[in-house]
A and B are shown apart, each in its own frame.
Chain A
Amino acid sequence: MAQAKKLPEVGQRIQSIRERLGMTQEAVAERLGIPRSAVSDIENGKRELSATELFTLAQMFGEPMEHLLGIGDFEADDELVMLRAQTVTAGTKAELNRFVHLCREYAWLEEATGERREPDLRPVRGTLSTWAQAWRLADEERKRLGLGVTPAHELIPALEERAGVKILFLPLNADLSGASLWSKDFGPAVLVNKNHVPGRRAFTTAHEYFHLLTEGRVASSKGPERLHVCSSEGPDGKKDSADKLADQFAAHLLLPPEHFVEQIRALQNEKGKIDPFDLNRVGQYFGVSTQAVLVQMAARGMMSWNQYKKIYTDPAFKERLLRDRGREIGKEPQRFRDLAMKAYLMERVSRERLAELLGINVAEVSEVLENYGGVKGMRDGVRLTLPH
């Protein structure tokens, strides 16, 4: 009796989420390895759904299992309302859903381990409209967060530990750089495309941080958005004015002007010229892409925009750039992983759950634990000290 009562509700919920995400029954059928007609039967409550199928759908939709089962108040969540409004592809919507879901997991881990961070952000007052205002904000934030002369190398831990921003790197579609969200449930959060090169990921992190600080208060922009999604380029290659200022903020934050000029000057030969290939080393030193270095040089009048274009479109330069990118090493956010490890050591999560949180197979947990400060076999009574 209970089976007959529950199945239609679950089916209807699956259909509702699938349609919200813009996915077809064919796509769901392919993922589950069943005919399309079987998906239709599931949605109409005519076909029984196994636990494995339910878990697979939850993963595909980026939703917690409980939401599909109708447990908890997920429908009222305004992040999902925002997601519905986004004009992004079905795949991207599912990725954003997954981001929101992981942020909730992050907040749960903070609670479970007693490591909750209160957000410490200084949102701007008034409306920003000029590059100079974005630069000033970058200078203030660099000082406030104590980022030093190569901020990209310290930005992620500073935002996670000091500003209380949840940062997640997830593999996303190539056209999506990142997203930012300020949730009433879990606070400020930034999503960055893990598939991008390290320099670009650092830039995206800073870019999204600007959106959290300004909350859409930028002249001639789209205005306030609780969930901001950044594509690699806007429609027709045009960027919203908030994104343009966010780029200026990010470049200024990550390339402190005085130190940047010093580094560029050090590259000059006796004739005062610079080998463009050396700019890649400057990018690596600052932890940003070579393109960001070139753009800053042009923006600060160290070269003309025509020179920038000539260098950047030179095939030999591009080839070298691609080769050097393979050697880039960038920092990834550690806090979510640290919290998951700590939750395991405190017996707040099982070994299997730890594997799910870390995105690894259960068979790999021992090795990960062993590499994580030699904690293998130390579960009982161990309290892991996390870096602050």
Chain B
Amino acid sequence: MVLGSLCLIDADVTIDGFKYSYFEALVTGHAIGMCGWVRTQEVQFYKDASGARVAIDLTTYVTTGVLQVQDATVVELHQFASAYRGGALGRGESESIAMVMSRGYYFCTADRPAVKVMKQLGVLSQWVSLEELLSSLTPPLPIPEPKFSRAAAQPK
């Protein structure tokens, strides 16, 4: 799979990327980005098998440009919030989908409510599952949990 534009990833995909060790391969194999809110407020740590917190440091990925951090503008947020008033999404998802709408980016999430909103806003074609991203790497990687398959998050 070759994406024609930047693919934003949500907090869950990022956090699990460190938990299941696919993050490095993901960001080096595709043009991956993240919205400012997810970068600064949400991706802080993951919990290992024993339940202990393990800190996540994205600094190197960001400074080397492997991971692109993009901030939505107020106008983009306004356009999103005017078009969608459902209250189902968090701030990171709202910021990401705002940029999907205005900049033509892709968005990788395994959260069905977020995918439903993308469908409602007419940008479902810009949704990418983690399964698609990992399977198109060289070598391909399996998804660590069934929730990351396209079928699991596809709106019914």
Given A65-B91, A356-B90: A350 touches B73 (CB 8 Å cut-off):
no
Residues on B with C-beta less than 8 A from A108 are 87
Q: Interface on chain A toward B: helix, strand, loop, or mixed SS?
A: helix
Say whether B131 faces chain A, with CB atoms less than 8 Å apart: no
B81 touches A50 (CB 8 A): no
Chain B residues near A348: list those with CB within 8 A. 88, 113
- Are A350 and B36 interface neighbours, CB within 8 A? no
* Interchain CB contact (< 8 A) of A66 among B15, B36, B81, B93: B81
CB <8 Å contact, B47 and A350: no
Report which of A51, A349, A367 forms a contact with B36, defined as CB distance below 8 A: A51
B133 at the interface (CB under 8 A from A): no
Question: Does B8 have its Cβ within 8 Å of any Cβ on chain A?
Answer: no
Establish whether residues B37 and A55, one from each chain, have CB atoms under 8 Å apart when the complex forms.
yes
A157 to chain B, nearest CB (A): 26
- B71 adjacent to chain A (CB < 8 Å): yes
Instruction: Tell whether A367 pairs with B81 under 8 Å between CB atoms, given A51-B95, A352-B42.
Output: no
* B124 CB-CB contact with A under 8 Å: no
Determine if A350 and B111 form an interchain contact, defined as CB atoms under 8 angstroms apart: yes
Q: Which of A49, A66, A112, A350 contacts B89 (CB 8 A)?
A: A350
A-B contact count (CB 8 A): 119
Cβ–Cβ contact B44 & A350, under 8 A:
no
Tell me which residues from 52 to 83 in chain B have a Cβ below 8 Å from any Cβ of chain A: 53, 71-78, 81-82
Q: With an 8 A cutoff between CB atoms, is A383 at the interface?
A: no
A352 touches B92 (CB 8 A): yes
Q: How far is the CB of A162 from chain B (nearest CB, A)?
A: 27
Do A6 and B113 touch (CB < 8 A)? no
Say whether A10 contacts B74, CB under 8 Å.
yes
**B89 A2 Cβ-Cβ under 8 A:** no
Given known pairs A65-B91, A352-B11, the reply for A51 and B82 (CB within 8 Å) is: no
Measured between beta carbons, the chain B residues less than 8 angstroms from A28 are none
Q: Decide if B112 is an interface residue (CB 8 Å cutoff).
A: yes
Contact of B88 among A70, A71, A349 (CB under 8 A): A349
| B7 on interface, CB distance cutoff 8 Å | no
Give the chain A neighbours of B51 by CB distance below 8 A. Answer: 367
Q: Which residues of B contact A49 (CB under 8 A)?
A: 73-74
Q: Give the total of A residues in contact with B, Cβ under 8 Å.
A: 35
Task: Determine which of B36, B47, B72, B114 lies in contact with A363 in the assembled complex, contact meaning CB atoms within 8 Å.
Answer: B47
Q: Tell whether B134 is near chain A: CB-to-CB under 8 Å.
A: no
Complex interface residues of chain B between 80 and 116 (CB less than 8 A to chain A): 81-82, 85, 87-95, 98, 111-114, 116
- Complex Cα distance A7/B37, Å? 20
What is the chain A residue whose CB lies nearest that of B36? A52
Report Cα–Cα, A247/B72, bound state, in Å: 50
Task: Kindly state whether residue A325 has any CB partner on chain B within 8 Å.
Answer: no
Interface of B is mostly: helix
B113 close to A350 (CB less than 8 A): yes
A345-388 vs B: 1/0 string, CB under 8 Å?
A: 00111111101100001111011000000000000000000000
Contact with B along A316-340 (1 / 0, CB 8 A): 0000000000000000000000000
CB-defined contacts of A50 to chain B, threshold 8 Å:
36, 71-74
CB of A3 within 8 Å of the partner chain: yes
For the complex, is A267 an interface residue (Cβ under 8 Å from B)? no
Closest Cβ–Cβ distance, residue A379 to chain B (whole Å) = 8
B1-39 contacts to A, CB under 8 A, are: 10-12, 15, 35-37
Asked if B74 and A353 sit within 8 Å, CB to CB, the answer is: no
Instruction: Tell me which residues across on chain A come within 8 A of B40, comparing CB atoms.
Output: 52
Pick the contact of A347: B87, B91, B95, B112 (CB < 8 A).
B112
B148 within 8 A of A: no
Given A50-B73, A352-B10, A356-B91, A362 and B42 touching (CB < 8 A)?
yes
Q: From known contacts A361-B42, A367-B47, infer whether A353 and B72 are also in contact, taking CB-CB under 8 Å.
A: no
Can you offer 21 A-B residue contacts whose CB atoms are under 8 A? A2-B75, A6-B74, A7-B74, A49-B73, A50-B72, A51-B35, A52-B40, A52-B71, A55-B41, A65-B81, A65-B91, A66-B81, A69-B78, A350-B111, A352-B12, A352-B42, A352-B111, A353-B89, A356-B90, A356-B91, A362-B11
6 shortest A-B CB distances, which residue pairs? A352-B90, A50-B71, A51-B72, A52-B36, A353-B90, A350-B113
15 extra interchain contacts, Cβ-Cβ under 8 A, other than A347-B113, A363-B46?
A3-B73, A6-B78, A51-B37, A52-B37, A69-B77, A69-B78, A72-B85, A112-B87, A349-B89, A351-B90, A352-B42, A362-B90, A363-B47, A367-B47, A367-B51
Chain B contacts to A: CB under 8 angstroms? 10-12, 15, 35-37, 40-42, 44-47, 51, 53, 71-78, 81-82, 85, 87-95, 98, 111-114, 116
